[in-house]
Structure 1
Amino acid sequence: MSAVYINSAACISVQDTLNENFFQNLQPENSAQIVKAIEPNYKEFIPPAASRRMSKTVKMSSVASQYALKEAGIEKPDAIIVGTGMGCSQDSEKFLKNVLENNEEFLTPTFFIQSTHNTVSGQIALGLQCHGYNFTYVNTSSSLEFSMLDAKLQILDDEASTILVGSTDEQTERTMELYQLNNTIKKEENLPVDYLNSKTDGVIWGEGASFFVLGKEKTESTYAKITDIQIINKLNVDETKKFFEDFLAKNNLSNQHIDAVILGFSGDSESDVYYKNASELFLSSSLIYYKHLSGEFNTASGFSTFMACHILKNQEIPKVMMINDVNKKEIKNILLYNHLGGNDHSLVLLEKV
């Protein structure tokens, strides 16, 4: 069977991930309830007149996709697939606010038009004049994984040879207020967070955009090979180990073959139990966590995929991400495990090329 490769990776996140030296300058964030992405100077990438009409998630995605395409040396991909949990929620909130304030009269349609989840993929396609397959997945924390699975199948079926795949989510004022009211976000008295040993519920909320170019050909810029992706909506805690064992068996692997496991510890004591159960299976692997660097959000796994790509390429794990002291001479197979609040579990297996 043909392989599918990740030929470029770009990320805008709470860390300065557009900077070439970001790998050495990762700063944990455990004392704020909400952490914001470090945004680039958009004027360098988007005409100011267009930028004013774009929400944050569209601007972040536009820049991250430009970085990804440039690194892969591609002007126009065959397809664009984007995963998002919340979509363009800034414009959704603005539209609903206008509805209330104007008693449903004299509404400008702009915010409504730009509030749909597929605005991001549409805007990128317009900018590139790309008329190929264009799709948006809205599957909470497995949105990126569904996007990558779609891209992988299209490449294996020879329907496309290069596909731009991305994930993006932004914060909005009202949604953050609601998340604080329903205790999705950690209470201030429970800060700072010990991500690995938290005794309280709730998370630190982040945001960001991550984009990758997937292709059937290995290139000079290739980071990794996508071996397999598995997604399940509901999983009981006592089924976690079987979920992993079945996935490894399907790929003719055992836990000894996995050099590093990236786990999405979020500081939410109730749902982090899944990660603790999973980590018991991989005592001889390097265990890694990342949400103390990115915050939790629907497509936080984009940040972990971006980091996994760089770990495979550099053959080095940043100390700030390590849970245990296991250091492998060679990092060949990395397994990524993520979920959001105990739902929508995903496994992604990446292999060094």
Structure 2
Amino acid sequence: MSAVYINSASCISVQDTLNENFLQNLKPENSVKMIKAIEPNYKEFIPPAMIRRMSKTVKMSSVASHHALKEAGIEQPDAIIVGTGMGCSQDSEKFLKNVIDNHEEFLTPTFFIQSTHNTVAGQIALGLQCHAYNFTYVNTSSSLEFSFLDAQLQISDGEAENILVGSTDEQTDRTMELYCLNNTIKHEGQLPADHLNSTTKGVIWGEGASFFVVGKDKTENSYAKLTDIKISNRLELDETKSFIQEFLTENNLSAQDIDAVILGFSSDASSDVYYTNAMGLFADSALLYYKHLSGEFNTASGFSTFMACHILKEQQIPEVMMINEKKKEEVKNVLLYNHLAGSDHSLVLLERA
């Protein structure tokens, strides 16, 4: 399968990533259980009458996709592909609450219609009046990676030239309560969290939306070449290194050829051991982490992809992301490794465009 290019990148996250100077203003957060996204002024992008009917994830995605298309100079993408772990859970909760409160009678269908996972991709298409291929992937932490794979296939098969690919997830009250109850999210007594040397289970939860325009051809503004992706639903701890080495071999690379590795350390002691194990392969690479900046959530890899794009384009690694002191003169190859609670392991190889 031929490589494709990431020609634009936009992100709404718990950092001020819509700001041009965001790399200089990254602020770690490890002392609260949940971190909210910094939202833009939606009235600048969405008519006020529509804003009231949109959930947070739809609003974030509408703005992030708008920025991505504008930066790429694309008015109509040839396809829209979105990955999400939880979908429009805000409207799902509202619908279920209505079911209970109204004893399953006299229900309005609005919240149900807007609660489906493909609402985001559909709303973006409606806004653009885009009738092209429209698809949503719901594969927990590898949702974005499957979306990228689909985009690669579409472009390799000649079905499309420029594709809008995105990922999005939001926080909702009831779901966060349940995550606290089952210890997915850390308790107050476990804070502040140490993302690299944690001895406790659970994570700090975040949210956000990241969108990219993936194209067949390299442009003047290209961020990176998306070379390859590998996904494994289950992985034993002792298989981590071979999983990565096989992926590098398939791309005619060795560990020494990787200039930077971005790892998804989440402060969950039981699952971060995979990343610690992987670090042993890359003695000469810059080792980076990011979930102390974004929080953990199903599609947090969208934030790491966004950061990797800027690192490759600007040839600048933010100090706040560094695990070790290694820095190469040129950052050419970046490897992204992510999973969620030890499941759905993904590798993404990006190359300087």
TM range (shorter): over 0.9
For residues 11-26 of structure 1, the aligned pairs below 5 Å read 11-26=11-26
**Structure 1, residues 15-73: CA drift from partner, whole Å, max 9, x if none?**
00000010100000000000000000000000000110000000000000000000000
- Please name the residue that 1:298 is paired with: 298
The SS at the match of 1:351 is strand
1-side partners of 2:172 and 2:3: how far apart?
39
2-side partners of 1:325 and 1:301: how far apart?
23
The SS at the match of 1:163 is strand
The answer to whether structure 1 residue 6 and structure 2 residue 3 are counterparts is: no
- Please name the residue that 2:181 is paired with: 181
- Please name the residue that 1:207 is paired with: 207
Could you tell me which amino acid in structure 2 is paired with residue 191 of structure 1? L
For residues 185-334 of structure 1, the aligned pairs below 5 Å read 185-334=185-334
**Structure 1, residues 174-201: CA drift from partner, whole Å, max 9, x if none?**
0000000000000110100110000000
Could you tell me which amino acid in structure 2 is paired with residue 245 of structure 1? Q
1-side partners of 2:207 and 2:3: how far apart?
31
1-side partners of 2:152 and 2:193: how far apart?
37
The SS at the match of 1:54 is coil
Structure 1 runs of 4+ with >4 Å offset:
none
The answer to whether structure 1 residue 61 and structure 2 residue 47 are counterparts is: no
Decide whether the 8 Å contact of 2:141 with 2:339 is kept in 1: yes
The SS at the match of 1:120 is helix
Decide whether the 8 Å contact of 1:225 with 1:352 is kept in 2: yes
2-side partners of 1:341 and 1:251: how far apart?
27
For residues 81-230 of structure 1, the aligned pairs below 5 Å read 81-230=81-230
**Structure 1, residues 120-173: CA drift from partner, whole Å, max 9, x if none?**
000000000110100000000000000000001110111100000000000000
2-side partners of 1:257 and 1:206: how far apart?
32
**Structure 1, residues 298-332: CA drift from partner, whole Å, max 9, x if none?**
00000000000000011010000000000100000
Decide whether the 8 Å contact of 1:2 with 1:216 is kept in 2: no
Could you tell me which amino acid in structure 1 is paired with residue 225 of structure 2? K
Decide whether the 8 Å contact of 2:2 with 2:152 is kept in 1: no
Could you tell me which amino acid in structure 2 is paired with residue 78 of structure 1? D
The SS at the match of 2:209 is strand
Identity of aligned residues (%): 79
Calculate the TM-score normalised by the size of structure 1. 0.99
Could you tell me which amino acid in structure 2 is paired with residue 246 of structure 1? E
Could you tell me which amino acid in structure 1 is paired with residue 164 of structure 2? L
2-side partners of 1:172 and 1:2: how far apart?
39
2-side partners of 1:197 and 1:336: how far apart?
20
Calculate the TM-score normalised by the size of structure 2. 0.99
1-side partners of 2:324 and 2:235: how far apart?
26
The SS at the match of 1:168 is strand
**Structure 1, residues 236-262: CA drift from partner, whole Å, max 9, x if none?**
000000000100110111000000000
1-side partners of 2:165 and 2:340: how far apart?
21
Q: CA deviation at 1:3?
A: 3.2
Gap regions ≥5 residues in structure 2: none
For residues 28-39 of structure 1, the aligned pairs below 5 Å read 28-39=28-39
2-side partners of 1:220 and 1:209: how far apart?
25
1-side partners of 2:160 and 2:135: how far apart?
14
2-side partners of 1:134 and 1:198: how far apart?
40
Q: CA deviation at 1:221?
A: 1.3
What is the Cα-based RMSD across aligned positions, in Å?
A: 0.6
Gap regions ≥5 residues in structure 1: none
1-side partners of 2:262 and 2:164: how far apart?
23
